[in-house]
Structure 1
Amino acid sequence: MTSILTNVAAMAALSTLRSIESGLEQTQAAVSSGLRVGSASDNAAYWSIATTMRSDNMALSAVEDALGLGAAKVDTAYSGMNSAIEVVKEIKAKLTAATEDGVDKTKIQEEITQLQDQLTSIAEAASFSGENWLQAKLTGGLASDINKSVVASFVRDSSGAVSVKKVDYTLTASNVLFDTNGNTGILDQTTNIAGDGVVVNVNDGGVTTSHNLNSYTTAQVSAAVTGAGGAFDAGGSIAWTVAGDGLGAGVGYVMIGSDTWVAATEQSALANATQEVFATDASTFEWQINTADTAASTAMSVDSFTITNTTTKTELAGLLSMVDTALKSMTSAAAQLGSIGMRIDMQQEFVASLTDSIDKGVGRLVDADLNEESTRLKALQTQQQLAVQSLSIANSSSQNILTLFR
């Protein structure tokens, strides 16, 4: 049946053309954007997953930047610690040289002072973006002063909850060189350095008490006494810095053992029975302890100790032990920083690999196969041409009716 009011063939051809053009539009969008799923209307599930994972990837990109910043902080601290270790090695070598007989210890101290100043300079300069891990407020500090961390990863668990994981590093007395509010750092903590001392029992008002006193050799006493114009009898057991009968003579020395002397202040006989005194069989006088000489050990720290030509071998041995202990702590701290640096490097590689994996996964969901899309585009273009031709034929059929009226 042919009708000029209802052209069924034209309607069918038009419907086909519309369908082809709709497919052609989608294919052209896929070819131009490279996405098979470019909007939620294309595939809601895939689009939702891809959008979420893209946002996670952006967070991972921020984590990667944070890891780079953390690596810079750790590298700065490690470089400073390593440089400080080399300086402390030099100090140790200088102290070793000072134990040699006849060496001018004051000259060695001049070098040590410069090395000590260098340690301070290193600790102050080892800062990155305002963060200094070699000196901190350990004493009386806040948690933010000592608890450091580096962002390590962004995690989404099976329930969909997200969190940021960190690598923690706590500043303590075992890994910080200087305490800016006290003396608990590796280099500024004090250590008691024993001198050449002896324990002397002293009669104090009838009560015997023990005191740690510095000890002196006969040669040292002789030099001190005769240098001050006093009298010294090598065979005696009492010497004082001013010649006389001993009364009011000032600082003196009493022999308490073979080649062992201690310093005391001379007092008249039984001047004060409550004073701390010790008696010697060689004299009727009592001798009050010289309070300036009652410390047989001295508190010292690596960053501030001083040696002189009067520094004894015992004291030098103590200083060497103190420096070596500090060196061990610094070596351990450097190893800890190195381990954290290695972990950060590994985490950076993992985050980069994870980012690539997520990109691949998203691509599998929403990316278009351009080989397939280009083939489909060519086919749809051909179908479009055929549909247009078919519509043209259908529209021309009504014109053929006119020939029937001629």
Structure 2
Amino acid sequence: MTGLRALVATHDLIETTHSRVSTGLRVSAAKDSAAYWSIASKMRSDVTSLAAVQDALGIGSALIATAYAGMAAAEEVVSRIKSLLVSAKDPNVDRAKIQSEIGQAQSGLISIAKSASFAGVNWLETGIENMHEAEDEFRVSSIPASISRGADGRPDLAMLGVDISTVSLFNSDGGGILQADKRSPKTIGGLRYVSSSTETGYTVNGPNRYGWPAQQTFGFDGSVTFGAGDTMSFTVTVGAENASDPDLPPPYSAGYDIDVFIDRSLVDSVLPTANGTISTPQELAQVIRASIPGDPVSVGYRDYTYSSGYEEKYVSFTDPQLWSGSEGASMAVSNFTTTTSTTGGLANSSMSYGVTASHLSLSFEPFRVHPGVVVGFEFSAYGQTRTYAITRDVVERALGTDDGIVHTSEDMVKVLQSIMGSFPNLIIETVGSGLQFAIDRSADRNSAWGTGISVSSVDVNIEPLNDIGILDVDVAINPDMIDRYQQIVDKMHEQIITAASNLGAASNRIDMQKTFIDSLSTTMNRGIGHLIDANLEEEATRMKALQTQEMLGIQALSISNASGEMIAQLFKL
């Protein structure tokens, strides 16, 4: 019985070894090694998934490669158009022939855009309605770009979103790289003006009003001679507030009176060699300054003769607004008396309050802020300057809308109030069909020189825009537009280069992932082999040994059986 059991065991081992040799697997079923079989099964499933990922990456790679090839071809054509525009600037060339070449290039661009299609997908010629406003589902194309792991640890695809608006050359509703860009916010509701002399078509600095000092000017009418007993005196009033200003509430400061007294001794101290005679506007100003200690009044002059012979000679008094306790500005000369035979043009005057710039009006024009557009500007008022920005989000939050459109001056007021509400004493309000900035004079009583409101440093991040499409370029019909054509085509060329670079970067990313997946699949297959593959050399040697062992077992069992029969025969004897 022992020999029989040994023979059966050997036969089982032979069967197992034969299975390993024939399948090449050391673990071909869970019964061979439950742990290794489970691990290998999961890894084989992952390898199969990686193969599917690799196929998907191949599709994404082909789509990007197609778009890149079209973009590269378009770049060459646009570069050619740039060269032709340079040639067209020469007034001696035949611009009709140059335009013929440009026309062929324009047709070539259309053909390139139409042909850059893979599996029915074309990124260079699109049909997206209102492309820059479209939702991502219409504007962004998702393609397989890399491998990732899901929550369950299984291989999965990571997608790359390509914004079609950045690569489309021609879009049926406009907005392609080679088409006119419709995203201009125009005058930004009145914050800037149209300009024919700037690249953007609009001014950098917007509306402004500046305060003007309270001043009195007296034309110099000849020399003034002071004898030993001569005197001249008058009163200058500064710092008074204008009770007639409708925006300035009472009470009103009466200002300050400064008494001016001039005699021979003062003239001699200022002009020691003049023998008491003041001969020029400059000398008169010097003497008056000397009579007013501390410069509470700014005394100026003008003494100039033009080439035409016209003479401009005067002395001016200006309120420097240095008086504490009063924010007013005024200038008046009163109580003028003199014993000299001439006055040098000095006399009593009315009261001047200068110009107080506490309002700034804007002519409103509707506009739209598109996604990604940032309108920046500086706002200055009464000596303070702050920087602000209007974005799509700012407009929509202020108006409770989702289209980025500022339809009316009331809308504009809401938008500006939402970002400028903390500016000191600023009032933003509608006036007729427009609007205005105003300073609350009850809170800030500054006048004249201390006032002024302005909008400056207006900047739109996407400007200058292409206001002309490349298909509209015609140097034969519009030779005066060649410079503008060059500006626009240069920018289009830059945009094409940027788009091609982005596509190239995406293609490289996918290629790296494909290489990685190839390496990962190989490594995983090698790991599976280490777990379950049989060593065929060892198994073949084992097979021979087991077969020999089986033969010996059969012989031993045969001998054992023969010996039993002989013993039985002896007992019969």
TM-score by length of 2: 0.48
**Which residue does the alignment assign to 1:305?**
473
Is 1:351 aligned to 2:526, yes or no? no
Choose the corresponding residue for 1:56, options 31, 46, 49.
46
Is 1:133 aligned to 2:123, yes or no? yes
The residue type paired with residue 171 of structure 1 is D
* Contact 1:77/1:126 (8 A) holds in 2: yes
Distance 2:518 2:72 in 1: 29
* Contact 1:46/1:365 (8 A) holds in 2: yes
Partner SS for 1:173: helix
- Residues 381 and 310 of structure 1: is their aligned pair in 2 closer, same or farther, counting only changes over 3 Å? closer
> 1:109-188 counterparts in 2 under 5 A?
109-140=99-130, 143-156=136-149, 160-162=152-154, 164-180=156-172, 182-188=173-179
Choose the corresponding residue for 1:70, options 52, 60, 65.
60
The residue type paired with residue 503 of structure 2 is L
Choose the corresponding residue for 1:390, options 556, 560, 563.
556
The residue type paired with residue 176 of structure 1 is S
Structure 2 stretches of 5 or more lacking a match?
Answer: 185-193, 203-362, 364-465
- Residues 310 and 129 of structure 1: is their aligned pair in 2 closer, same or farther, counting only changes over 3 Å? closer
- Residues 125 and 194 of structure 1: is their aligned pair in 2 closer, same or farther, counting only changes over 3 Å? farther
**Greater CA drift, 375-384 or 359-368:** 375-384
* Contact 2:95/2:475 (8 A) holds in 1: yes
Partner SS for 1:300: coil
**Which residue does the alignment assign to 2:339?**
none
Q: Cα deviations across residues 101-130 of structure 1 (Å, max 9, x unaligned)?
A: 132322222221221111011011001111
> 1:1-400 counterparts in 2 under 5 A?
11-140=1-130, 143-156=136-149, 160-162=152-154, 164-180=156-172, 182-190=173-181, 299-309=467-477, 311-312=479-480, 315-400=481-566
**Greater CA drift, 82-91 or 132-141:** 132-141
Cα offset, 1:75, TM superposition? 1.2
The residue type paired with residue 353 of structure 1 is S
- Count residues with an aligned counterpart: 295
Distance 1:101 1:195 in 2: 23
Cα offset, 1:160, TM superposition? 3.6
Q: Cα deviations across residues 187-217 of structure 1 (Å, max 9, x unaligned)?
A: 0124899979999xxxxxxxxx9xxxxxxxx
The residue type paired with residue 363 of structure 1 is G
Cα offset, 1:143, TM superposition? 3.6
Cα offset, 1:142, TM superposition? 5.7
Cα offset, 1:178, TM superposition? 1.4
Q: Cα deviations across residues 316-343 of structure 1 (Å, max 9, x unaligned)?
A: 1111000000000000111111111111
Partner SS for 1:40: coil
Q: Cα deviations across residues 122-181 of structure 1 (Å, max 9, x unaligned)?
A: 011001111212122343456444322332444446x7433523241322433221113x
* Contact 1:53/1:362 (8 A) holds in 2: yes
Structure number with greater CO (CA < 8 Å, separation at least 6) is 1
Distance 2:127 2:477 in 1: 36
The residue type paired with residue 381 of structure 1 is Q
Partner SS for 1:41: coil
TM-score by length of 1: 0.67
Distance 1:84 1:194 in 2: 32
Partner SS for 1:102: coil
Partner SS for 2:538: helix
Structure 1 stretches of 5 or more lacking a match?
Answer: 1-10, 200-208, 210-297
**Alpha-carbon RMSD:** 2.7
The residue type paired with residue 150 of structure 1 is I
Partner SS for 2:161: strand
Distance 1:103 1:194 in 2: 31
Distance 2:143 2:107 in 1: 31
Distance 2:74 2:82 in 1: 12
Q: Cα deviations across residues 299-325 of structure 1 (Å, max 9, x unaligned)?
A: 42112332325521xx21111000000
**Which residue does the alignment assign to 1:263?**
none
**Which residue does the alignment assign to 2:287?**
none
* Contact 2:50/2:155 (8 A) holds in 1: no
Distance 1:190 1:146 in 2: 16
Distance 2:562 2:534 in 1: 40
Partner SS for 1:90: helix
* Contact 2:70/2:116 (8 A) holds in 1: yes
Q: Cα deviations across residues 33-84 of structure 1 (Å, max 9, x unaligned)?
A: 0000001111111111111110110111111122222221111111100100
- Residues 357 and 135 of structure 1: is their aligned pair in 2 closer, same or farther, counting only changes over 3 Å? same
The residue type paired with residue 470 of structure 2 is V
Cα offset, 1:99, TM superposition? 0.8
Distance 1:194 1:110 in 2: 32
Q: Percent of aligned pairs with the same residue? A: 38
* Contact 1:119/1:303 (8 A) holds in 2: no
**Greater CA drift, 129-138 or 43-52:** 129-138
The residue type paired with residue 131 of structure 1 is V
Cα offset, 1:354, TM superposition? 0.2
Distance 1:142 1:127 in 2: 23
- Residues 391 and 155 of structure 1: is their aligned pair in 2 closer, same or farther, counting only changes over 3 Å? farther
- Residues 392 and 194 of structure 1: is their aligned pair in 2 closer, same or farther, counting only changes over 3 Å? farther
Partner SS for 1:150: strand
**Greater CA drift, 343-352 or 388-397:** 388-397
Distance 2:467 2:526 in 1: 64
* Contact 1:123/1:178 (8 A) holds in 2: yes
Is 1:405 aligned to 2:572, yes or no? yes
